[in-house]
Amino acid sequence: MPSKNTPNIARLGDSANQLAIIRQATADWQQNSNPFTVLSRRMATSLVLEELIAIFTEVLETLVRFDQLTYRHRIGKQDLVFRSGLGGQHRCEYRLSLQGEHYGELTLARRHRFDEVELTAIEQMLAIAICPIRNACQYAVIEQATLTDSLTSAPNKRALDLALSQACSVAERHRENYSLIICDLDHFKQVNDTYGHVIGDHLLKAAAREIELAVRSSDQSYRFGGEEFAVLLPHTEEKDAQVVAERIRRRIANLTVDCGDDDVTVTVSAGVATRQRNESPEQWLARADEALYRAKSCGRNCTSIASRIARSTG
Closest CA to 95 of 121, 120, 126, 117: 126
The single residue of 50, 227, 246, 282 carrying the catalytic annotation is 227
DSSP 80-126: EEEEEE---SEEEEEEEEETTEEEEEEEEEESSPPPHHHHHHHHHHH
The reply to whether 101 belongs to the active site is: no
Dist CA 144 CA 74 (whole Å)? 12
Counting Cα atoms < 13 Å in the Cβ hemisphere of 292 gives: 23
Largest CA distance in the chain: 103
31 Cβ partners below 8 Å, 6+ apart?
none
Task: For residue 112, count other CB atoms closer than 10 A to its CB.
Answer: 10
Closest CA to 300 of 184, 157, 207, 209: 184
Residue 50 phi/psi, 5-degree rounding, is -60, -40
Dist CA 140 CA 49 (whole Å)? 8
Do the Cβ atoms of 104 and 98 come closer than 8 Å?
no
What are the b/e assignments for 45-69, b being 16+ CB within 10 Å? ebbebeebbbbbbebbeebbebbbb
C-alpha dist (Å) from residue 258 to 64, 101, 148, 186, 198: 60, 39, 26, 18, 12
C-alpha gyration radius of the chain: 28
Q: Show the CA angle centred on residue 159, arms to residues 158 and 165, nearest 5°.
A: 90
Catalytic site positions: 227
